[in-house]
Structure 1
Amino acid sequence: MPHPASVPLAPFQKKMLPALLALAIFMQMLDVTVLNTALPSMARDLNTSALHMQSVIVSYVLTVAVCIPVSAHLSDRFGTRRIFMAAMFLFGLGSLLCALSSQLSMLLVSRVIQGMGGALLTPVARLVLMKSFRNAELLRVLNYAVMPALLGPILGPLVGGYLVQYASWHWIFLINLPFALLSLFFASKWMPNYTETPGKLDLHGFLLFTGSACLLTLGFELSGSLASPALSGMLILAGFLLLLGYKRHGTHKQNALYPGHLLSVRTYRIGLSSNLLSRIGMAALPFLLPMLFQISFAYSPVQSAFLLLPMAISAMAAKPFLHPLLNRFGYRSILLSNTILIGLLITALAFIDAQTSTLWISLHLLLLGAANSIQFSAVNTLTMARLRPYQKSSGNSLMAVNQQLAMGLGTAIGAMLLRYGQALFGASSVQTATTAFQFTFVIVGLITLSSAFLFRRLHAMDGHNMTQKQGA
């Protein structure tokens, strides 16, 4: 394939490619965030418990996690335009099937189909931009393309709340269809079909890695059911054994899916493990908070959505403060203190109830959203800070998979703890149901606090090369 600099792109084509990536990212972010406020209504319509609806989230993010590793291989082999259009078709088809689902089992299968498409959309579109623009143009183009990702968390809960309250939950999936059709048209007209000679896919490593991810997540999913503790324990144990098998495979396999030398980079190893552990707490909140507001506090979907809005707004507003804070205090101090703050804020959610002022709840979530934004922007840059050029592609892919797994595990663990809380305290009244949520927030907050011990292993000068670049 010719060098990107020599690929002739028409002026209109150069404008459309970033817009196409922006549309793909916006679709995904809207789809992820629009769902949360709709879950209680969906549960009633599907005649199932709201506490089983975490599977709707977990099935999607887990599918995304296991499909991301093959996105580059498929693009090289079949071409970027073909894979992007196939991914968009699957995402649209999955959305349509979700809207037509009349049972939870059908909805879960539809979410898997949707996740197979969603896993490939953003990586393939980003790859097209990297191959189409010179390095001097790339930062500007990528910044433009990811801007809609900041709007998704703000618009998602509101769109979901209004659609559920004034139409039906089916529309949260049907709104994807016009975007999907528009993207298919744009891609067929203006997306280049870049191909490469594909390297050999590490199928053995892929099966070990994805098998481990699936078994671990499924094990935590089932552990919330008091009827199957032995089965869930066996699944979790099998998942850890497969993970150990992959670690050995990655160390000895020359072209492993994720080479073992990645974990020899200390800041990458600490960043990856702490990112996973600290994200579990925050990943549980988008599932738990709408449930708390609508089930225990009897708020409407729209009221619930507006209560979640400050968290999304402050997450976006906090981003300009990240670089000055890192320049002033360094990565270790910021990550250590901010992790403790997030853990305490999550734990403090146990003190709110139906009589708590909505203004106080909004201020609480405003601070939590800002702290969360600073946390994960900082840990993401630190994780990649010391990787060599030949490690960045696989390192970035593993970090993206790690984030998706954290979302799945966080949701599954949050639902599991909520079920245990209901078994301990009951759910026969508003007070006992609220107590189960409070129990869950305390445990989830403690899990987040425990990740501070991982950040303590950082050195004071870790990430200094990143702050120097940012301050230059």
Structure 2
Amino acid sequence: MNNSIQNKQLQLIPIVAAISFFMASLDGTAVNTIIPYLATVFHSPLSTTKNIIIFYMIANSLFIPLTGILCQKYSCRIIFCIALIVFTFGSLLCGISQTLNQLLAARIIQGIGGALMLPVGRLAVIQTFPKDQLIKALGMVTIPGLTGPLIGPIVGGIIASYMHWSVIFLINIPFGIAGIYFALRFFPTTTDKKIKIDFWGYLLFAVSIALMTYALSLFSESQDYTRPAIILLIGLLLSGVYWVRSFFHDHPLFNPKLFKIRSFSVGIIGNLVARLGCGAVPFMIPLMLQQLMGLSPVACGMAMIPLALSSIIAKPFVAKAIRFAGYRNFLFINTLILSASYVSYSFVDEHSTWTLLVILMLITGFVNSMQFTAMNTATVLDLSPKRQPAGSCLLSTVMQVSMASGVAVAAILLTLDEKIHIHALPASHFHFTWIWLGGFTTISAFIFLLLPNKRI
């Protein structure tokens, strides 16, 4: 490969991956905002209309586990282009849907494309960049994942108020076409035709993840926990069966030997625990602003701009901080600061000033942004090229489940405190939840102490 093409790869791959990440996260959060509006458009109950979110999420869960092995067998370039085509086509079908059933079917197609798109984009970056440049490249890809959910409510509110709802889906089309063009030219083409796909193992693992994701979404939407608890238990049992089976299979979907790599195993466990707090932030802050401050969804989205801005500002500082302190020390200190930032929201009530809220959101956005980038990079840093597809794919799966877990845990904590302290002020329920989220995050700080203290 000549230097000109290689330089363009280094410039464009993170941008294309970031745009695809932004498309998916913006689309998802904007759609979440207009669910009540779509219920009136299609004259359907809100409980039925919410399937627009759930169908997409389940399709995501079913196909994310397959991406790593598909990239090994057919290359990131081919799979990423297929993903963009499916997501873009699904977006078109969503935009031209005339009935709720048509929209639900289109969301499944869109969810399949989204599932393939995100982990493949990250994997392409991992395969392209040397380790000393990886954290900067992955940071660029992570920014949209942080900003999309924050500006999504603004976009959704504006479109619902001033445009036709279909615009939310149709705006994906030009970005999708541009992404296909650049991916065909610059994404890596590394393949291993000898790779075999464990179909039954994939099916077992994918169904377990879909059930767990669905159960966690039910936890966050209902106060009756019996049904989601049963579904979650079935998902966990199937996941356990998969991992037992993987020890005895010649070509498992995720080789258990991955967990012999210390940085990977510690990174995966740390991600799971840390994201109980991180995953709750896009749920907790808007809810707090709306219920305590009385803001509308659009005004709430505008109020959260400091969180998004500080997330972007933080990115150039991550590499410098890790170069100075090393991954282990940096993640330990940063995670403790992150935990303290969550606990600090326990001082917020309906009488709090906007100055206090802006300061807290600036701090949370900055530290949260650095946390995501450092956690993700530390997890995949020591993977060999052969292990990178499976490792990146498993990380994406863990991120999907743990972020949903964060929302579910926050919803359960809020509901629990409301039941225990029936006559307490609304702010106290939020205080209880933030303190617990800070506690979970503190635990992950000590998990990260087990990382090797490598520097960039």
The verdict on a shared fold, with TM-score over 0.5 as the criterion, is yes
- CA positional deviation for 1:279: 0.9
Counterpart Cα distance in 1 of 2:148 and 2:121: 23
- Which sections of structure 1, spanning at least 5 residues, go unmatched? none
Q: Give me the identity figure in percent.
A: 28
Q: 1:221 is matched with which residue?
A: 217
Q: 1:90 is matched with which residue?
A: 86
- Contact 1:73/1:198 (CA < 8 Å) preserved in 2? no
1:142-181 to 2 correspondences below 5 Å: 147=140, 150=143, 153-154=146-147, 157-158=150-151, 160-162=153-155, 164-165=157-158, 166-168=161-163, 170-181=166-177
Q: Within the alignment, does 1:22 sit opposite 2:5 as a pair?
A: no
Cα 1:174–1:335, aligned 2, differ >3 Å: closer, same or farther?
same
Greater Cα offset, 327-336 or 401-410:
327-336
Greater Cα offset, 291-300 or 352-361:
291-300
Counterpart Cα distance in 2 of 1:176 and 1:329: 40
- Contact 2:328/2:448 (CA < 8 Å) preserved in 1? yes
Greater Cα offset, 407-416 or 241-250:
407-416
- Contact 1:280/1:409 (CA < 8 Å) preserved in 2? yes
Q: Of residues 354, 359, 363 in structure 1, which corresponds to 2:355?
A: 359
Counterpart Cα distance in 1 of 2:30 and 2:290: 9
CA-to-partner distance for each residue in 1:388-443, whole Å, 9 max, x for gaps? 5543332232222212222222233334444545556679xxx9555544443333
Q: 1:403 is matched with which residue?
A: 399
Which amino acid in structure 2 is aligned with residue 258 of structure 1?
F
Q: 2:436 is matched with which residue?
A: 443
Q: Within the alignment, does 1:282 sit opposite 2:270 as a pair?
A: no
Q: 1:249 is matched with which residue?
A: 245
- Which sections of structure 2, spanning at least 5 residues, go unmatched? none
SS in 2 for 1:252: coil
- CA positional deviation for 1:363: 0.9
- Contact 2:332/2:445 (CA < 8 Å) preserved in 1? yes
Which amino acid in structure 1 is aligned with residue 282 of structure 2?
P
- Contact 2:327/2:378 (CA < 8 Å) preserved in 1? yes
Which amino acid in structure 1 is aligned with residue 35 of structure 2?
M
Q: 1:230 is matched with which residue?
A: 226
Counterpart Cα distance in 1 of 2:106 and 2:421: 35
Greater Cα offset, 418-427 or 398-407:
418-427
CA-to-partner distance for each residue in 1:153-181, whole Å, 9 max, x for gaps? 44764464155135255433231122224
CA-to-partner distance for each residue in 1:56-75, whole Å, 9 max, x for gaps? 66654554344233225445
Q: Within the alignment, does 1:31 sit opposite 2:24 as a pair?
A: yes
Q: Within the alignment, does 1:455 sit opposite 2:456 as a pair?
A: no
- CA positional deviation for 1:192: 9.1
TM-score for the superposition, normalised by structure 2: 0.80
SS in 1 for 2:196: coil
- CA positional deviation for 1:364: 0.3
- Contact 1:29/1:149 (CA < 8 Å) preserved in 2? no
- CA positional deviation for 1:376: 2.7
Q: Within the alignment, does 1:341 sit opposite 2:337 as a pair?
A: yes
Counterpart Cα distance in 1 of 2:126 and 2:100: 40
Q: 1:413 is matched with which residue?
A: 409
- CA positional deviation for 1:139: 8.4
Counterpart Cα distance in 2 of 1:341 and 1:295: 26
Which amino acid in structure 2 is aligned with residue 25 of structure 1?
A
Counterpart Cα distance in 2 of 1:224 and 1:159: 19
- Contact 2:75/2:191 (CA < 8 Å) preserved in 1? yes
Which amino acid in structure 2 is aligned with residue 112 of structure 1?
I
| Aligned-residue RMSD, C-alpha | 4.2
Q: Within the alignment, does 1:239 sit opposite 2:235 as a pair?
A: yes
Which amino acid in structure 2 is aligned with residue 213 of structure 1?
I
Q: Within the alignment, does 1:42 sit opposite 2:35 as a pair?
A: yes
Cα 1:354–1:55, aligned 2, differ >3 Å: closer, same or farther?
farther
- CA positional deviation for 1:189: 8.3
Counterpart Cα distance in 2 of 1:354 and 1:102: 42
- Contact 1:30/1:156 (CA < 8 Å) preserved in 2? no
Greater Cα offset, 18-27 or 83-92:
18-27
Q: Within the alignment, does 1:383 sit opposite 2:379 as a pair?
A: yes
